[in-house]
């Protein structure tokens, strides 16, 4: 986290201390989020903070449970025809938007169509869809061109741009332009009057919300809100946050730096615990558009350059929070086996030889870095040194996180403002699956993610996973896909897995193990 001057840190604490106390009957949960909320329309971005916001204000037709199995959410009943081409969905009773209007299929269908334009999962479902039509206000029919085993998984997705159901007038807007309102049908209402970008985001309990009767599991089940008000308090300095949660001035800390965890664990008033059932992981992403990493041998060299333990020690430090893994789809998951061809041990001499085979002759390699993201900064500094050991002329370019993320999308040559390499991290709930794993998409064309790897055979194998009829066939197809990813030159280089601990006060209970942090079921005594 970025450090700020002490005067600003003290001012942030003072603001917390002087804030008007809530009414006696009100229970207010104060959360320090991992980032400021800058984009409030969840169809515009897959940014984690926007997805968290989206699932509080809006709702989805289905939702992934703790095991990432899709379960009905807004849907009451649904069925699939015998030929597996027709799906019929009926909304459950009691669904209303925050303005009092009932949710109908007139809202559902344009919402799904808007989502299908922006999301990788939605684009694939759209490709498989023949038609989507309303039967009446509560029932609609989705007809497929061919059987597709991921309809439920897609409609319950929280792994990318989320398929939230908006009001028809909002869903009708250009999918590339943000909706100006935050009127959903979810368990929380967004308080627009209290929204101060860079400082505070506020929500209140939606007292008209009718939760499902099932107990909560992951993002599925009953979304029962147990506080009156939720506030995201944006504090950019880790030391200030640590002091505030220690004194009870805030209740929950989303994604604290791991180097502070040993100190926080000593406070008997705090709970330190992971939330996501699946681990996160670090990776190095090469730009395949330009030399040297347009050559598969240069990307293979990067895999031989990496010593996962060194990276994990630099970024995480405590062994109890990390493990090595050599699967593209997250070790410990159904698709996460380490396949034949996986590069498991570093070999700097081989890496240097492979760079020469790729035609590398000492040209500058632009390695971009976000110095204000501690783990990314640590990983990048390790890579800068290891690149030098294999004879690479490193141009380390450091910037703030916003500029860093913006630069990912630049396709100009590295010497003209582009890049060759960057480090990032991904959530297991998204990257464990061939459908939602952005880095594994090697389809040639505009739908590819930053780095733009292109391999038609890998694209066909990924498509084979999605068309496989059952889980065993899907797992076998995913194995073949991984083997091709290694053989074609890694689209990203694995740096190991880790669990992210979170911190909350002991008087806060009901935090759910989910792939995406949510605050229904959370109580404050």
Three-class SS of residue 119?
Answer: coil
CATH number at residue 471: 3.10.105.10
Q: How far apart are the first and last CA of the chain?
A: 30
- Residue 195 falls inside a structural domain: no
Is residue 232 left, alpha or beta, with left meaning phi > 0 and alpha meaning psi from -120 to 50? beta
What is the average pLDDT across 212-216?
96
Tens digit of pLDDT for each residue in 487-525?
A: 999 999 999 999 989 999 999 999 999 988 999 999 999
- pLDDT at residue 384 in the model: 98
Tens digit of pLDDT for each residue in 311-370?
A: 999 999 889 999 999 999 999 888 998 988 899 999 999 999 999 999 999 999 999 998
Is residue 221 left, alpha or beta, with left meaning phi > 0 and alpha meaning psi from -120 to 50? left
Residue 78: strand pairing partners = 89
* Domain stop point among 171, 191, 220: 171
Geometric angle at alpha carbon 102, from 100 and 105, rounded to 5°? 150
Tens digit of pLDDT for each residue in 124-145?
A: 999 999 999 999 999 999 999 9
For residues 470 and 335, state if they share a domain: yes
For residues 152 and 292, state if they share a domain: no
Distance CA(338)–CA(348), nearest Å, equals 22
Geometric angle at alpha carbon 398, from 395 and 402, rounded to 5°? 135
For residues 165 and 293, state if they share a domain: no
- pLDDT at residue 448 in the model: 81
0.85 exceeded by pTM: no
- Residue 295 falls inside a structural domain: yes
Asked whether the beta carbons of 58 and 185 are under 8 A apart, the reply is: yes
What phi, psi does 438 have (nearest 5°)? -60, -40
- Residue 115 falls inside a structural domain: yes
For residues 328 and 456, state if they share a domain: yes
- Residue 316 falls inside a structural domain: yes
- pLDDT at residue 420 in the model: 98
Question: Is the torsion defined by CA of 263, 269, 272, 276 positive or negative?
Answer: negative
Tens digit of pLDDT for each residue in 78-99?
A: 999 999 999 999 999 999 999 9
* Domain stop point among 137, 171, 205: 171
pLDDT at 14 over 50: no
Asked whether the beta carbons of 284 and 426 are under 8 A apart, the reply is: no
Helix residue spans in 432-470 (DSSP H): 456-467
Tens digit of pLDDT for each residue in 248-283?
A: 999 999 989 888 999 999 999 999 999 988 999 999
What is the average pLDDT across 394-403?
89
Q: Which is more confidently placed, 22 or 472?
A: 472
Eight-state DSSP code of residue 7:
H
Count of domains observed in the chain: 2
- pLDDT at residue 6 in the model: 38
- Residue 385 falls inside a structural domain: yes
pLDDT at 10 over 80: no
Torsion angle of C-alpha atoms 416, 301, 455, 286, degrees rounded to 10: -30
CATH number at residue 160: 3.90.76.10
Q: Are strands 493-498 and 322-323 parallel, antiparallel or unpaired?
A: antiparallel
The answer to which of 154-163, 331-340, 381-390, 438-447 has the lowest mean pLDDT is 438-447
**Percent of the chain surpassing pLDDT 70:** 95
Three-class SS of residue 452?
Answer: coil
Torsion angle of C-alpha atoms 37, 40, 44, 47, degrees rounded to 10: 30
* Domain stop point among 171, 205, 223: 171
For residues 165 and 289, state if they share a domain: no
Asked whether the beta carbons of 288 and 294 are under 8 A apart, the reply is: yes
- Residue 272 falls inside a structural domain: no
- pLDDT at residue 21 in the model: 52
By residue range, what is the domain housing residue 318?
Answer: 280-498
- Residue 24 falls inside a structural domain: no
Distance CA(376)–CA(425), nearest Å, equals 8
Distance CA(486)–CA(484), nearest Å, equals 5
- DSSP secondary structure letters along 64-112: E-TTS-EEESSEEEEEE-TTS-EEEEEEPTT-B-TTSPBP-HHHHHHHH
- pLDDT at residue 24 in the model: 53
Question: Is the torsion defined by CA of 109, 114, 115, 117 positive or negative?
Answer: positive
The pLDDT confidence band at residue 198, using thresholds 50, 70 and 90, is confident
The pLDDT confidence band at residue 403, using thresholds 50, 70 and 90, is confident
Of 179, 172, 496, 215, the closest CA to residue 328 belongs to 496
User: Position of tokens 């008000």?
Assistant: 229
pLDDT at 446 over 60: yes
- Residue 211 falls inside a structural domain: no
């Amino acid at each position: 986290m970025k450090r700020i001057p002490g005067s600003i840190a003290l001012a942030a604490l003072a603001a917390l201390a002087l804030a008007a106390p809530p009414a006696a009957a009100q229970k207010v949960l104060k959360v320090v989020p991992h980032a400021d909320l800058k984009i409030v329309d969840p169809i515009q971005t897959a940014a984690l903070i926007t997805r968290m916001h989206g699932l509080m204000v809006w709702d989805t037709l289905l939702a992934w449970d703790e095991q990432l199995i899709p379960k009905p959410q807004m849907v009451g009943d649904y069925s699939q025809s015998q030929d597996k081409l027709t799906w019929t969905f009926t909304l459950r009773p009691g669904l209303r938007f925050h303005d009092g209007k009932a949710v109908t299929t007139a809202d559902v269908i344009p919402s799904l169509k808007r989502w299908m334009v922006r999301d990788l999962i939605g684009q694939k479902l759209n490709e498989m869809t023949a038609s989507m039509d309303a039967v009446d206000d509560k029932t609609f029919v989705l007809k497929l061109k061919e059987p597709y085993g991921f309809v439920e998984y897609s409609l319950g997705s929280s792994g990318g741009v989320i398929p939230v159901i908006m009001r028809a007038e909002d869903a009708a807007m250009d999918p590339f332009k943000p909706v100006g309102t935050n009127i959903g049908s979810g368990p929380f209402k967004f308080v627009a009057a209290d929204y101060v970008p860079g400082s505070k985001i506020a929500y209140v309990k939606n007292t008209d919300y009718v939760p499902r009767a099932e107990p909560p599991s992951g993002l599925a089940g009953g979304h029962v809100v147990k506080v009156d008000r939720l506030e995201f308090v944006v504090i950019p300095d880790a030391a200030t946050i640590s002091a505030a949660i220690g004194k009870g001035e805030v209740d929950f800390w989303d994604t604290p730096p791991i180097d502070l965890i040993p100190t926080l664990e000593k406070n008997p008033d705090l709970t330190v615990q992971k939330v996501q059932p699946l681990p996160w992981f670090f990776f190095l992403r090469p730009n395949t558009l330009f030399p040297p990493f347009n050559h598969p041998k240069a990307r293979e060299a990067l895999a031989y350059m990496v010593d996962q333990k060194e990276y994990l020690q630099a970024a995480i430090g405590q062994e109890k929070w990390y493990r090595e893994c050599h699967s593209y789809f997250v070790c410990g998951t159904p698709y996460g086996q380490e396949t034949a061809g996986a590069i498991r041990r570093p070999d700097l001499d081989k890496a240097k030889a492979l760079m020469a085979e790729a035609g590398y002759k000492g040209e500058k390699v632009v390695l971009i870095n976000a110095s204000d993201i501690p783990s990314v900064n640590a990983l990048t500094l390790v890579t800068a040194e290891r690149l030098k050991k294999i004879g690479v002329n490193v141009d380390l370019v450091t910037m703030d996180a916003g500029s860093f993320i913006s630069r990912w999308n630049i396709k100009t040559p590295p010497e003209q403002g582009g890049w060759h390499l960057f480090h990032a991290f991904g959530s297991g709930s998204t990257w464990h699956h061939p459908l939602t794993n952005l880095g594994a998409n090697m389809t040639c064309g505009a739908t590819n993610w930053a780095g733009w790897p292109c391999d038609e055979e890998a694209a066909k194998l990924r498509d084979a996973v999605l068309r496989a009829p059952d889980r065993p066939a899907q797992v076998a197809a995913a194995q073949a896909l991984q083997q091709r990813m290694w053989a074609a030159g890694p689209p990203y280089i694995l740096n190991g897995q880790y669990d992210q601990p979170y911190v909350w006060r002991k008087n806060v209970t009901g935090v759910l193990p989910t792939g995406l942090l949510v605050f229904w079921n959370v109580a404050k005594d």
